[in-house]
A and B are shown apart, each in its own frame.
Chain A
Amino acid sequence: MSQAHALELRQISKSFGKTQIIRGVDLAVKAGERVAVIGPNGAGKSTLFNLISGRFAPSAGEILLDGQRIDGLRPYEINRRGLARSFQVSNLFSRLSVFENLRCAVLWGMGYRYAFWRFLADARDANERAEQVMTMIRLQRRREVLAMNLTYAEQRALEIGITIAGGSNVILLDEPTAGMSHSETAQFVELIREVTVGRTLLTVEHDMGVVFGLADKIAVLVYGEVLAFDVPEAVRADPRVKEAYLGSVLAEQQADSVRSKGGS
């Protein structure tokens, strides 16, 4: 019997009013795979993430996490089943410190629920895990700094920290390196690789260097449809992908120039 996919999308569609943003997307991600979701602006990548994580409900179709349906569930129900996401615009707890931000993210998973009869200071497992994640994202020196006072890159790091702290098996990262310089991006990719070891990762990315360096598979989303879902080399060579990104004339020219260079 084949193992259920970690995350599976079956004929997912989403319309806002009359505008259809996502049109019948099929996607099956195996456990432990790292998938990069790429596509031109407006293709619906963030919307797809919002559908998977429960921010919106799909207009049609099914989403399965480890074989169980999660479409239509509230975000916290989905999170409790093992899926966590980060946001393109850092969505932090602004007046809490770095440490507190991370600790909040681990509380539910460790069973603290709505407890008001236990002290946080005594929650050794939560505190240790928060320290651990803080070190992983290299913010231990900024432990007591309020989230709103961090630099942009630090906020992005904390954003990822909150996402992975809870120990979810499926991680969705929405443009984690948005707005970063080259050097920052390179460090960040290392960070992402480290913290998502053994987990299933979906990331929306625009930076092709990041995509090809990080991803096992690439899904190309154009106008709400998945044009290709394959290993990087196959996607790179796919003519439909080239056309979507570059337009057919330009794609021909590029292909010609590559061929002529290769020929000479």
Chain B
Amino acid sequence: MAMAENVAATAVASSRNMNWRWVIWGGYALVLIVAPLLWRSSLSHTMLSQMGIAIVACLAYNMLLGQGGMLSFGHAVYSGLGSFFAIHALNMVSGGQLTLPVSLVPLVGGLAGMVFAVLLGYVTTKKAGTPFAMITLGIGELVFAMSLMFPGFFGGEGGISGNRVAGKPLFGITFGPQIELYYLIALYTFVCTAAMFAFTRTPLGRMLNAVRDNPERVEFIGYDTQFVRYFAFIASGFFMGIAGGLGAMNFEIVTAEVVGAARSGAYLLFTFLGGATFFFGPIIGAVLMVLALVLLSELTLAWLLWLGLIFTFMVMYAPGGIASLIMMNLRVAAFGKLKPLLPWYLVLGVAALMILAGGGAMIEMVYHLQLNQALGPQMKFLGVPLNAHGVGSWAAAALLLLAGIVLFEILRRRFARLWNRIQEEIEDTVRQREAAA
């Protein structure tokens, strides 16, 4: 009797969820469609295209990291090989040896990624945890080194170029203009996101979570842990390949660095930053990745240093990434307790800005001395004139940095106390609600 009520209650709850689901997915589609209309410059369109590709890649990467607990240091292999196969397919379409609509070329990449995942994944998934990570590192180095050895396929230093305007246009769409390509990418992004989300709701997807949480127990409920990991690896490889194929079409050139360690590291860094524990976390990470790679790298030479520092900080204090920070605050807001935290976020932000300003000034002065010596010691940082040789500038920057760090640490501890108290209040409320039910 109680069981039937339970099933009914769940059905009602999930129907309410259904409405939310349409809203979220509809909103996602809307954003994808409307974005290039909001940001109209060609740089924006390029960046939006790259974001779509990155979203597919980071979500695919998170199938392993967040859903399977598998840390891979060499996942660019699958997207990279997908890129190479896709650009060769594109050239074959251009050359008339292959009749394939250009819009399906990313699937060639996906297939390539999947095939290599089948081949290499068997050996890779023999181990778990740290050895698994080391194996992926080794295989990543192997593939990268091989890509330099076979210039026939990999194009050597110059890579392989292609032209995405090939074959017959589809209803007049050639995918030559960036905006046309963007909408193709947006379509792939939406479909892939939906597919990967659906995967998390299947038996295999759920058992992958179980393997993440307790690989040993999985064996005692009838599942072969290695098989689960292997299948997930293959699925991830497929979507990585699609991302690679989209990238080949976007840039129309593929060089060996697409299978390199730097790219693999970027996937890891930004997926983790976005948040590996929530499905939408990698989407945030992907957007940040493109913003950082395109904009931040122009702003300062030390962008990787800042990235490394933020990443390390996140691992220590917010291992669930930005997504978890958002969700935690949403939860607090749902219980109506967000207001007292807002002023704290403000002052913490000010302290963080002090750190960024002070540290940034010092770093820029060092780079200025290193690289722009001919221009003399005078320089500008954020509009403020600085003298790279002057003690005053250095002292001011150092002081700002130090003050920022001290202030941040003091504030952080006080904030942590307030946060913990709010969490306890929420726990009490939850308990009361449960008792009353």
Chain A residues within 8 Å of chain B by Cβ, number? 45
> Using an 8 Å CB-CB cutoff, how does the interface string of B194-229 with A read, 1 for contact, 0 for none?
000011011111110110111011111111110110
B382 at the interface (CB under 8 A from A): no
> Using an 8 Å CB-CB cutoff, how does the interface string of A51-67 with B read, 1 for contact, 0 for none?
00110000000000000
A68 at the interface (CB under 8 A from B): no
Chain A residue with minimal CB distance to B222? A108
Interchain CB contact (< 8 A) of A76 among B204, B205, B214, B222: B222
Chain B residues with Cβ below 8 Å from A105 are 221
Interchain CB contact (< 8 A) of B204 among A94, A103, A114, A140: A114
Chain B residues within 8 Å of chain A by Cβ, number? 35
B405 nearest CB across to chain A (Å): 34
A235 nearest CB across to chain B (Å): 29
Contact in complex: A131, B7 (CB < 8 Å): yes
A128 at the interface (CB under 8 A from B): yes
B342 at the interface (CB under 8 A from A): no
How far is B226's CA from A75's CA once the two chains are assembled, in angstroms? 13
Interchain CB contact (< 8 A) of B202 among A96, A109, A118: A118
B218 nearest CB across to chain A (Å): 8
Chain A residues with Cβ below 8 Å from B225 are 76
Contact in complex: B2, A113 (CB < 8 Å): no
Contact in complex: B198, A104 (CB < 8 Å): no
Contact in complex: A131, B219 (CB < 8 Å): no
B231 at the interface (CB under 8 A from A): yes
How far is B220's CA from A87's CA once the two chains are assembled, in angstroms? 10
Interchain CB contact (< 8 A) of A108 among B14, B199, B223: B223
How far is B203's CA from A123's CA once the two chains are assembled, in angstroms? 9
B105 nearest CB across to chain A (Å): 25
Chain A residues with Cβ below 8 Å from B14 are 121
Chain B, range 314-352, C-beta contacts under 8 Å to A: none
Chain B residue with minimal CB distance to A172? B220
How far is B208's CA from A166's CA once the two chains are assembled, in angstroms? 18
B6 at the interface (CB under 8 A from A): yes
Contact in complex: B219, A79 (CB < 8 Å): yes
Contact in complex: B201, A119 (CB < 8 Å): yes
Contact in complex: B201, A128 (CB < 8 Å): no
Scoring A103, A104, A107, A123 by chain B CB atoms within 10 A of each residue's CB, the highest score goes to: A104
> Using an 8 Å CB-CB cutoff, how does the interface string of A121-145 with B read, 1 for contact, 0 for none?
1010001100110110000110100
Chain B residue with minimal CB distance to A85? B220
Interchain CB contact (< 8 A) of A120 among B202, B214, B224, B228: B202
Chain B residues with Cβ below 8 Å from A143 are 6
Contact in complex: B210, A115 (CB < 8 Å): no
How far is B6's CA from A93's CA once the two chains are assembled, in angstroms? 22
Interchain CB contact (< 8 A) of B203 among A74, A84, A96, A115: A115
How far is B67's CA from A93's CA once the two chains are assembled, in angstroms? 13
B170 at the interface (CB under 8 A from A): no
A146 nearest CB across to chain B (Å): 10
Given contacts A114-B203, A166-B222, contact A135 B214 (CB under 8 A): no
Scoring A108, A109, A128 by chain B CB atoms within 10 A of each residue's CB, the highest score goes to: A108
Contact in complex: A109, B222 (CB < 8 Å): yes
Chain A residues with Cβ below 8 Å from B222 are 76, 79-80, 107-109, 166
Contact in complex: B220, A115 (CB < 8 Å): no
Q: List 21 A-B contacts (CB under 8 A).
A: A79-B221, A79-B222, A91-B216, A93-B210, A94-B214, A96-B206, A96-B213, A104-B210, A104-B221, A107-B206, A114-B204, A115-B204, A116-B205, A117-B202, A119-B202, A120-B201, A128-B7, A135-B2, A140-B6, A162-B217, A162-B221
